[in-house]
Amino acid sequence: MGYQENSRRRGKPNEGPLLLTDRPLACESTEFLVVGCGPAGATAAREAARAGIGTLVLERDAVVGSKRVCAAGLRPGFCETFDLPRRLIHCDTSRLALFDGQGDEHEIFFGPGHTSTREELDAAMADLAVREGAELRTQALFRAIGRDGANTVVEYADLANGVRRAVSARVVFFALGATARLEDASLGRIAMPRWRAGLMTTLQHRVYPAQPVAAIAYRTLELHYYASRDDRQIIAWMFPKRDHLAIGLGVMGKIDGEALRAELDAFAERVRARLYPTVTVAAVKTEGHLLYGGRARPCVSDGNVLVGGTAAGFVDATNGEGIFEAAMSGRFAADAAERAIRRGERAGARYAALVERRFVRRLARRMRLMRYLERRPRRFAALFAQLARTPGLGEVLLKEDCERTMSERLYLYREAVRFGFRSFACRD
C-alpha cells in the first residue's frame, strides 16, 4: 500500500505506530469505515450494516444532504434498485427534451425518469443506513489517512467538540464527492494528478413559482447543450420539483463568477419565456458547486482502501448523472468489504472488478462521445435527431453493457455506425 501519510512528510518513519498528528491520538476501531454520507457512502453503509458488518460513517455536514447542490434527476427504477421509498419522488418525467445549440428541441419518451431533492434523498438514505445498524457521526471532517499494520487509520476533526480523533478500520470507503481532496491526502495509487482538470463549475437557481407553470414542465427533464459567450460548452437543465424548478448549468473548468451568473440568468430567462411567462415567482434560491466531468480515476482502490461515487470520477460526462453511479459503487464497496472482513479476500481487487464491469467502460465511452460532440457542436443536433426518431434507442442506451442482449448490442452498433456517417458530414 502506497500512502504517503502526513508523518512521512514530517520526516517521521512510515512504519510502526501511527502518528498522523504531532501527538498520538487514542484510536477506536471499526470493521468498515465510510467517509462521506452522500448516495455512495449511505448506500455502502446501509448494505454493509445490513450484512452484519460493524460500520461507522463520518460526515462533514451537521445535517446530511442539507448542503447538496444538485438537480436530483433520477434514472427510471432508481428507488426500486436501491429499495428506497416512492415518497422521495417529486415528479415522474416520461419526457426528455434535448435542446441543441440552435435552440431546437428534440423530444424523447422513456422511463419514466424521476426528480427529487437531495435534502430528502440523502436524509432518507442516511436514515436507512442507521436503521440497519450503521453509526453516523456528523460534523466529522476527514483530515488524514495512515496505516496500522493491516488496518487503515483515518484521522478526522470532530467539529462539534473541536478535537481530532482517529479510527482504525479493516476496510475504508472514501465517498467524498467532487470536492474530495484525495490528492492532498496523498492516497497512494488512488491519487490522480489531473483530477482538478476534470472539475466543472455549476450554478443553479431553485425557482419557486407562486402558481403552477406549464403542465408539460412537470413531466419533462430538459437538457440544453450550447456554447457560452466565451465559446465554452455549456450543459444546462430544467428539472421540475413539486414546489420549484431547478434551472442550472455547468461548464468545464473555472469560470468567473459574474460571467457564470450572467449565463445562468440568460438561460433562466429563456426557460421562463417558454414555461411560465405570466406566472409570479415567489422566491429564487441560487446555489453553486463543483461537479466532475473528466475521466474516472484509473485506480479506485489500494489494498483495503476504496474510493467511490463522484470522488472516483463516476459521472456521466454527457449529462452530469452521478447519483446512480454513486449508489451502485456504494453497493459494490459494501460487498467487497463484507468479503474482505468475513473471508479475508482483498477488498480492493473485488471492488475494482465490480465497478469496471458495471459502468466504468460506459462512462469512458460517454466522455469520449461528449468530447467528440463538442469538437463540432452540430453533432449534438445530429445525435438528438437520431434519438428522437428512433424510439427505443434511449432505453437501450440506459442499460449497462452487462444488461444488454446480443440483439441490443447489434442494434446499438448499427445506430452508432449510422450516427458516425451523419456526424462526419456535420460542419459548423
Give how far Cα 98 sits from Cα of 226, 275, 420, Å.
Answer: 11, 15, 19
Looking only at residues 187 through 226 of this chain, which bind ligand FAD when binding is defined by CB under 6 A? Answer: 202, 204
179 binds ligand FAD (CB under 6 A): yes
326 binds ligand FAD (CB under 6 A): yes
Among 398, 397, 377, CA closest to 100: 377
41 binds ligand FAD (CB under 6 A): yes
Question: What is the DSSP code string of 338-356?
Answer: HHHHHH---HHHHHHHHHI
The one segment of 61-69, 145-153, 357-365, 407-415 that binds ligand FAD by CB under 6 A: 61-69
35 binds ligand FAD (CB under 6 A): yes
Give the chain's radius of gyration (CA, Å).
22
Cα separation, 156 vs 159, whole angstroms: 9
Cα separation, 134 vs 191, whole angstroms: 28
Cα separation, 210 vs 283, whole angstroms: 8
Cα separation, 81 vs 74, whole angstroms: 11
36 binds ligand FAD (CB under 6 A): yes
In the complex with ligand FAD, the residue whose CB is nearer, 81 or 390, is 81
User: Are 373 and 383 within 8 A, CB to CB?
Assistant: yes
DSSP H or E run through 282: strand 281-292
70 binds ligand FAD (CB under 6 A): yes
Looking only at residues 284 through 313 of this chain, which bind ligand FAD when binding is defined by CB under 6 A? Answer: 289, 291, 309-311
3-state DSSP: the chain helix, strand, coil percent, rounded to 5?
40, 30, 35
* The one among 18, 37, 91, 354 contacting ligand FAD by CB under 6 A: 37
Looking only at residues 129 through 158 of this chain, which bind ligand FAD when binding is defined by CB under 6 A? Answer: 141-142
The one segment of 1-9, 252-260, 322-330, 362-370 that binds ligand FAD by CB under 6 A: 322-330
Cα separation, 286 vs 246, whole angstroms: 10
The one segment of 25-33, 36-44, 257-265, 369-377 that binds ligand FAD by CB under 6 A: 36-44
73 binds ligand FAD (CB under 6 A): yes
The one segment of 48-56, 62-70, 337-345, 361-369 that binds ligand FAD by CB under 6 A: 62-70
398 binds ligand FAD (CB under 6 A): no
Q: What angle do CA 92, 93, 98 make, to 5 degrees?
A: 165
Q: What is the closest distance, in whole angstroms, from the C-beta atom of residue 159 to ligand FAD in the complex?
A: 10
Q: What is the closest distance, in whole angstroms, from the C-beta atom of residue 158 to ligand FAD in the complex?
A: 11
In the complex with ligand FAD, the residue whose CB is nearer, 151 or 329, is 329
321 binds ligand FAD (CB under 6 A): yes
In 3-state terms, what secondary structure has residue 287? strand
Cα separation, 278 vs 422, whole angstroms: 40
Looking only at residues 234 through 253 of this chain, which bind ligand FAD when binding is defined by CB under 6 A? Answer: 248
Q: What is the closest distance, in whole angstroms, from the C-beta atom of residue 39 to ligand FAD in the complex?
A: 4
Binding site for ligand FAD (CB under 6 A): 35-41, 58-61, 68-73, 141-142, 175-177, 179, 202, 204, 248, 289, 291, 309-311, 315, 320-324, 326
